[in-house]
Amino acid sequence: MTNARLAFVFPGQGSQQIGMLAEAAAEFPEIRSTFSEASDVLGYDLWELCQRGEQADINLTERTQPLLLTSSVALYRAWCARGGARPALMAGHSLGEWSALVCSGTLAFVDAVRLVRERGRLMQEAVPAGEGAMAAVIGLDDAAVEKACSEAAEDEVVAAVNYNSPGQVVIAGSKAAVDRAIENCKAAGAKRAMPLPVSAPFHTELMRPAAEKLAPQIEQAEFHVPEIPVIHNVHARRELDPVAIKALMVEQIYSPVRWTACVQEMSRDGIDQLVECGPGKVLAGLAKRIDRSLSCHNIETPAQLNEAALATAG
């Protein structure tokens, strides 16, 4: 049964940890079966990698992306198998938007695994290691961050790329330009402006070559009308036309993630309960900063999933 007040949100890169979902896998058979499906596509044992591999290995973008997609889809399948309420809306942060598309019925899981593996590889290849950078800026409004980037750019690229919550924006671009923008943000009164341990400048114009290379593969994939609407990162609105969704997923690679606007749009649609479907609780924390009235749940462990299912039963 659909809960008209419930939305599911899916995390992006940064939530991966060695040993994640071990507790859920011990109780929910959907976890291991979903990982097995992904492993067949990838040609390596994804579960073994995330349980007994090295953190550095799962931090490689072309491995991180299928790993987080698989984790989110596995947890959503476990949720559905246990009679959890059907959400009225979905959204995902960056890579998490692909998880939302799978769980909304827009795209087959195995097709998404292939596409995000390639997405990760192309995004990492677009800018040589060490030439790009990202940084988190805390305590400045969006306009001030955008001004700091504009003044720092000179003949290089630096821009606001993740509008995560009021007063929390991530910037990205060429390393030297990002360094200049960090100093500008500090001078403008930012509480903190600090580099992130990421070498590729995601969601900037520097990612356009990756988007152009992935576009034909997205075009060839079979997309359907979503069974559950997805709020998209690019414009913070829903889209039901599969052709338009394909275009958005290409554009998303080099466009800012408007996460604050996505959460606000869900709130305007009557959503007051959020379930973060994936490892970690980053999005739940951001949601509370965006709209304190939201009730947020995580479902990474069996106890969390059972508690959230009861709380959102309608």
**Catalytic site positions:** 94, 203
Q: Which residues pair with 273 in a beta bridge?
A: 6, 295
Whether the Cβ atoms of residue 31 and residue 78 lie closer than 8 Å to each other: yes
SS3 category, 297: strand
Burial class (CB in 10 A: 0-12, 13-18, 19+), 180: buried
Among the listed residues 128, 104, 107, the one whose alpha carbon sits nearest the alpha carbon of residue 116: 107
Burial class (CB in 10 A: 0-12, 13-18, 19+), 308: buried
How many Cα atoms within 13 Å fall on the side-chain side of residue 126?
31
Alpha carbons 218 and 51: distance in angstroms, whole number: 30
Q: Which residues neighbour 110 within 8 Å (Cβ) at sequence distance 6 or greater?
A: 37, 38, 40, 41
